[in-house]
Structure 1
Amino acid sequence: MTATTGRAGRREWIGLAVLLLPTLVLTMDMGVLFFAVPYISTTLAPSGTQQLWIMDMYSFLLAGLLITMGALGDRIGRRRLLMIGAAGFAGASLLAAWSHDAGQLIAARAVLGAAGATVMPSTLALIRTMFHDPRQRQIALGAWGGILTAGATLGPVAGGLLLEHFWWGSAFLLAVPVMALVLLTAPVLLPEYRSTRRTGRFDLLGAALSLAAILPLVYGVKTIAVEGWSLLPGLAVAAGLLLAGAFVQRQRTAANPLLDLGLFRIRTFSGAISVNSIAMFAMMGFALFTSQYLQLVKGMSPLTASLWSLVPSLGVGAAVGVSSALAGRVRPAVLMGGGFLVGSAGFAMMTQVGPHSPLALVLTAAGVLAAGTVGTMTMTAEMVVSAAPVEQAGAASATSETAVELGSSLGIALLGAAGAAVYHHRLDGALPAGVDGEAARTAQDTLGGAATVAAHLPGRLGADLLETARTAFTDGLHVAAVVGLVFALGAAALAYRLMRHLPAAAPAPEPVTA
C-alpha cells in the first residue's frame, strides 16, 4: 500500500487473487458433489439417511460456525485463521477423496464445513483490512461477489468433467492445490490483523448457542423444502428459533460477546443484511426451478444443463463490472434499487416461460434475474464491512454470510413449497386415463417422478403424461416467479428507503503530511 495515498498497491491486488481462490473452491464444493453422489452410492453403498448427511453435513456446519469463526478471527488474527482453515480444508479433502465408507466421508464433510466457516469470513474481513480506499474496496468486493457466482456455476461443470475421466474422489481434490497455494503465499502477500479492543475470555457459551440455533433451523428448513411439512422438521425450526432467542440474550449480557448487537443499530449495516437476505431468498429460491426446467422439461443431461447455465453468468459478470464502475457517481440507494428492478424484470420474464418456450427466453430471463440481484449483492457486502468497525469486520462478515445461508434456505423451502403445491393441484384429476395407483402417486409427487413413470408407459400414454406434468411444473414455476417478483420489488423499495442517506462512494482523502 502506498504510504502517501493509502491506496492499495500491487501487493494488495495480488493478495486479493490469493483470497479469491479459496472462495472459488468453497462455492464450487456443493456443485461438484451433485455429480459425485451416484458414484459414491455405488462404491460406498450408504443408506438413505447417510446419503442425506453426505450432502448436508457441509452446509450445516458451515452455517452453524460462521459467527463463531468470524469472531475468533477478529481475536486471534484473520490471516492465521484463514491459514488454519486452508490447512483443514485441504486435509479434509484428502480424507474425503479416499474415504472407505460412508461414515468416514460424513466425518470429512463435517471437517470441510468447519474449515469453510473459517475461510469465508476471513477472506471478506481481510479485504476490508487491505483496501482502505472506498472505490478500490468496491472493486475488490465486486470481484469477490463475482467469484461466489462463478463458483456456484462452475462447480457442476467441473464435477461432471472430472467424473467422466476419474474416480469419484477426484471431485474433492480440486481444493488441495488451491489451499496449498494459499498456505505458501498468505504469509507473504496478506497482512495480519487482530483486534486489540477485546481482551476478555472467548464467549464459549455464545458459540455453543450460535451453533445450536443455526443447525436445527437449517436442518428444519431444508427438510421441509425437500419432503414437505412434518412434525420433526417443524420442531427443529421451533427449537432453532428458541435457541436463537437465547443466543441474542446471551450477547446482550455477556462481558465479551461474539457479536456486538450494537452493530444492528447502524442503519447501513442492518439495512445491507436485510436487503441481502431478501435477495438471496428470491434468487436461490428460484434457481432450483431453472435447473429442473433445463433437465426435466427440456430433457438435458445434468452436464449439458450445467454448461448452458454458464450463459447467464455472462450477464452477472457484466452487472458486477457496471455496478463497480457506477459506484463512484451514483448513490447506493439508486444503484441497488435499480438492480433489484432489473432482477424483477427477470422474474417477470420467467412468468412467460412454458414447456415449449425457446431456450433463449429461459436463459435470457435467468441472466437478467441474476444480473440484477448479484450486482446489488456485491454492494451490500461492501456496506457490511465498511459500516462495521475494522476490529469487528470478521464478526460482521460472518453475520452477513449467516443471513445469506438462512435466506437461501428459506427461499428454497418456501418457493419450492409454493411450486410443489401448484404442481400437485394441477395434476389432481388431470392425469391421463390409464395412469393410476402407485404410478399416479409417483407422478403427482414430483416432475422427476412423472418422467420416470412416463418412461415405462407404452406409446402415447407416456408422452401425454409427460406433457401434462411439464405443463403443471411450469404453472408452479410461474407462481414461484411471481413470489420472487414481489420480493425483488420489496427489496428495491427497502434498499432505496434504508440506503438513501448514503452518498456515492468517493476516494479516501489523502492523509495530511507535515
Structure 2
Amino acid sequence: MHCRPSPQKPLTERTERTSCQPSAGRRWAVLGIVSVALFLISIDGSVLFTALPVLSKDLGATAGQQLWILNAYTVVMSGLLLGAGTLGDKLGHRRMFLFGMAVFGVASLACALAYSPGTLIAARVLLAVGAAPMMPATLALIRLTFTDARQRNTAIAVWSMVSVVGAVVGPVVGGLLLEHFHWGSVFLINVPLIVAAIALGAAVIPRDEPDRSRPWDAVSSLLATVALAAGVLAVEEAARVPPSWAKVAAGLAIAAVLGAAFVRRQRRLDDPLLPLDVFAIPRFTAGVVAAVVTLVAVSGLGLVVAQRFQLVAGYSPFQAGLLLVVLAVGALPSSLVGGMLLNRIGERAPIVWGFAVGALGASIALLGVDSPGWFVAGLVVTGIGLGAPASVASSAIVTSVPASRAGMASSVEEVSYEFGNVLATAFFGGGILFVYGLAVDLPAGAPAGAATSLNEALRVSSDPRVVSAAMDAYDTAFTVVLAAVALVCLVGASVVSRLLRETAPGGADEPGGER
C-alpha cells in the first residue's frame, strides 16, 4: 500500500501528509510492530543496570568505563535523534525504521560478542546509530497512520506505556538471562526479534511520501552529539574523588561553546534541524519538560535500585530486576488512563498531579529503605504517578505541530526521553559515586581503590570491615538519590503547572496543533 500525497494542498500546509489511510486492522498492526521495536530500544537503555556488575567483573571494566558502557548508547542516540527524525521527513519514516532495525540487529550481535570494555563501548555506539533512526520513526508512523484524534491519543498512550515498561523491565530481562546464560545474552536476544520485526514491517507498514525538497543538516546533528558527550564527560569527571577540575572545566566549556553554536545555527538556517520557535508553544515545551523529568526519575531509580539490592542486600540480578517490575505495575494503568482521558482533561492535571504522586512514592521508598514492604509500596506509588506524565507528554509534543513536521516533533520527543535517561545516568550514576566518596570511612590499611566505588571495594578487598564501611557509604548515597528523585518530580510539577496555567482542557491552544 503506497499512499500518495493529496494534490489539493502543498505538503507543508496539509493536516495529514497522505490522502489514503490503511485499514483499522493494519493501523493496529503497525502499532504492534513499532511497539516491539520501541520495547527493544527501551530495554537496551536499562538492561545493563542488572548486568553491569557481572560484565564489569568479566571484562575488568573500571568505574569510568562502566559509566560509558551505560552512557555511550544514550549519549550518541540523543545527539543523532534530531537529525534522524528530520532525515525521516526527507527520506520517509518507513525506510528509516527498517534501516535502523537492520543496524540495530547487527550492533546487538556485536555487543554480545564484545571481549573488552572498549569493544563493548564501541558496539554500544553502533547500537545507538541503529536506534536513532528507529525511535522517531516509530512515533512518526503512529502520527501519520492514526488520523482520528482519539485513536491517535490511545495509540500514543500505548506507545508511551511500552517505552516506560521497556525501561523498567530491562533490568528484569537482564537478571533473568544472567541467571542461566552469559551476559552477552542480554543483547543476543534482540537478534531474532529484530529479524521478525523487519519481515513484518516490510509487509505491513504503509509507504509514506517523503518530502525530498527538505534539506538535512548533518553539521547541526554533529554539534548536538559532541556537545552532549562533552557535558556527560564533565559530569562523570566531577563525580570522581578527587576530580580533575581542569577536565571538568574543559568538558563544560566544549559543551557550552558547541551548544551555543548549535542554537545560532538553528536560528540562521531557513529550514533548521530544530526550529526553536516551537518552544514558544506551551504544550510543546511542557511536554518536553515532562518527558525529561519522567525519564530522569524512572532511569535514576532503575540504576540505583538494581545495583543497591544486588551489592548491598545480596539479591540475585533477577531478584533485583524483579523489584523494579512494581514500577511498571503502577505505571501501566495510569499511562493508559492518561492517554484516553487527554481530550477531556488536557495535559496539565495528569502531568502535575502525576509528578506530585511520583514524589510521594519516592519519599515513601526513601523512608522504607530498610523495610521491603514499604519500599515496594513506594515504588508502586511512584509508578502510578509517573505513568500519566509519560503518555501525556508524548501526545503534547507530537500533536502541537502540523503533521508535516511529524519527524521533527517525534525526534524532539525522543531526545527529551533520552536526554532524561542521560541526565539520570550521568547525575545519579556520577552522584552516587561522589556521595560514596565523601561518605566512605575506610579502616586503616584498606586498599586505595575501595574509596572509589562499592564495586571496586568488593573487588579489591574481602576484609569485613572494608566491606561494611563501603556498604554503609553506598546506602548513604542511595538515600540521597531517592531524595533527589522526589525533588526532581516536584520541580517538574511546578514548571509544567506554570507553562500550562492558561491552557484550556480538551482543546489545542496552538494553530498548528491538533487533538
The aligned residue for residue 274 of structure 2 is 259
Percent of aligned positions with the same letter in both sequences? 31
Measured against aligned partners, the alpha-carbon deviations of 1:108-167 in whole angstroms (never above 9, x if no partner) come to 332211011111111011111112223222221221122122222332332333344444
| Structure 2 residue 496 is the aligned partner of structure 1 residue 482 | no
Q: CA contact under 8 A between 1:195 and 1:392: conserved in structure 2? A: no
**Quick one: distance in 1 between partners of 2:457 and 2:318?**
21
Task: Label 1:108 to 1:417 Cα distance change in 2 as closer, same or farther (>3 A).
Answer: closer
Larger mean Cα displacement after TM superposition, 246-255 or 411-420: 411-420
Equivalenced residues, count:
491
How much has 1:80 moved relative to structure 2? 0.5
The answer to whether residue 231 in structure 2 is matched with residue 217 in structure 1 is: yes
Helix, strand or coil for the counterpart of 1:437? coil
Equivalent residue runs for 1:300-311 within 5 Å: 300-311=315-326
- Aligned counterpart for 1:438 among listed residues 446, 450, 453: 446
Match of 2:385 among 368, 372, 387: 372
Q: Who is 2:376 aligned against?
A: 363
1:137 aligns with 2:152: yes
TM-score w.r.t. structure 2 length?
Answer: 0.84
d(CA) in 2 for partners of 1:24, 1:145: 10
Residues 408-423 of structure 1 mapped to structure 2, 5 A cutoff: 408-415=421-428, 423=436
SS in 2 for 1:329: helix
Which moves more between the two structures, 490-499 or 4-13? 4-13
> SS at 1:309's partner residue?
helix
CA distance in 2, matches of 1:219, 1:289: 20
Instruction: Tell me the secondary structure at the aligned position of residue 176 of structure 1.
Output: helix
Shift in Å, 1:387: 0.5
Could you tell me how far apart the structure 2 residues matched to 1:89 and 1:421 are?
Answer: 34
Judging changes above 3 Å, is the alpha-carbon distance between structure 1 residues 9 and 502 closer, same or farther for their aligned structure 2 residues? farther
CA gap 1:225/1:317 in 2 versus in 1, 3 angstroms: farther
Q: Give the aligned partner of residue 121 of structure 1.
A: 136
CA 1:78–1:293: 2 relative to 1, 3 Å: same
Task: Output the aligned Cα RMSD.
Answer: 3.4
1:389 maps to 2:402: yes
Are the equivalent residues in 2 in contact too, given 1:70–1:122 (CA < 8 A)?
yes
- Residue 18 of structure 1 deviates from its aligned partner by 0.3
Deviation at 1:78, TM superposition (A): 0.5
Secondary structure of the 2:367 match is coil
Structure (1 or 2) with the larger CA radius of gyration: 1
Distance 2:117 2:455 in 1: 26
Judging changes above 3 Å, is the alpha-carbon distance between structure 1 residues 84 and 500 closer, same or farther for their aligned structure 2 residues? same
Distance change (3 Å), C-alpha of 1:265 and 1:194: farther
After TM superposition, the structure 1 = structure 2 runs for residues 180-329 of structure 1, keeping only pairs within 5 Å, are 180-196=195-211, 199=213, 201-225=215-239, 229-230=243-244, 231-329=246-344
Structure 1 residue 173 displacement after superposition: 2.2
8 Å CA contact 1:8, 1:132 repeated in 2? no
Is 1:77 the equivalent of 2:92? Answer: yes
Contact persistence 1:138–1:324 (CA under 8 A):
yes
Residue type matched to 1:111 in 2? L
Distance 1:228 1:495, change over 3 A: farther
Cα 1:481–1:506 shift into 2, 3 Å: same
Specify which of 386, 401, 404 is matched with residue 414 of structure 2: 401
How far is 1:310 from its partner? 1.5
Aligned partner of 1:495 in structure 2 is 496
Shift of 1:202: 2.4
The gaps in structure 2 that reach 5 residues or longer are 4-17, 509-515
Among 177, 189, 194, which residue is 1:174 paired with? 189
How has the CA–CA distance of structure 1 residues 222 and 124 changed in structure 2, closer, same or farther, with 3 Å as cutoff? farther
TM-fit CA distance, 1:340: 1.0
Q: Secondary structure at the match of 1:61?
A: helix
CA contact (8 A) 1:273 1:380 kept: yes
Cα distance, 1:24 vs. partner? Answer: 0.8
Structure 1 residue runs of 5 or longer lacking an equivalent are: 508-514
CA 1:361/1:131 → structure 2, altered by over 3 Å: closer, same or farther?
same
Q: Which amino acid aligns with 2:417?
A: V
1:49 to partner: Cα distance: 7.4
The answer to whether the 8 A contact 1:63-1:215 is kept is no
